[in-house]
Amino acid sequence: MNEPARQRLDKWLWFARILKSRTLAQKLITSGAVRIDGNRVTGADYRVVPGMVLTMTVHEQLRILKIVDTGERRGPASEAAELYEDLTPALPPREKKGRPSKPGVREPGAGRPTKRERRLTDRFTGKGNSRTGA
């Protein structure tokens, strides 16, 4: 009887090019951010087989992957994409953020003075009057 090939989870994540290094994969797994078939996994040495479903958050994005095959090496991206089936739901379309209808409004006398208000203050106190040379 042929038993399916088993592979370490951190190694599979690296082979499938989900993460850049095995060290990053190990950190993600030990943080408890990876679930296999709905169960949280905290050991990087967990053995995965084809047919398992991984749920994880990578780079602030939810990823749901079904393992199709175990890898033999970390090959090119086209080869890595054949190791899994992406079941991640499509993101809803983003709403367009237009310009606000009015610029920020500040009540008179609140916050720092504007350039105009500073000139008026200087003129009132007699400071910085460039016309008189002072």
Cβ–Cβ < 8 Å for 83, 70: yes
In the predicted structure, residue 107 carries a pLDDT above the cut 60: yes
Cα 93 to chain center, whole Å?
17
Lowest mean pLDDT among 27-31, 50-54, 115-119, 124-128: 124-128
If DSSP codes are grouped into helix, strand and coil, which group holds residue 77?
Answer: helix
| Tokens at 59, concatenated | 């780079």
Phi, psi of 89 (to 5 degrees): -65, 150
- Per-residue pLDDT band at 13 (split at 50, 70, 90): very high
Q: Structural domains in the chain?
A: 7-86 (3.10.290.10)
CA distance 134 to 126: 9
* Predicted pLDDT at 100: 62
- The reported pLDDT for the residue numbered 11 is 95
Q: pLDDT band for position 134 (50/70/90)?
A: very low
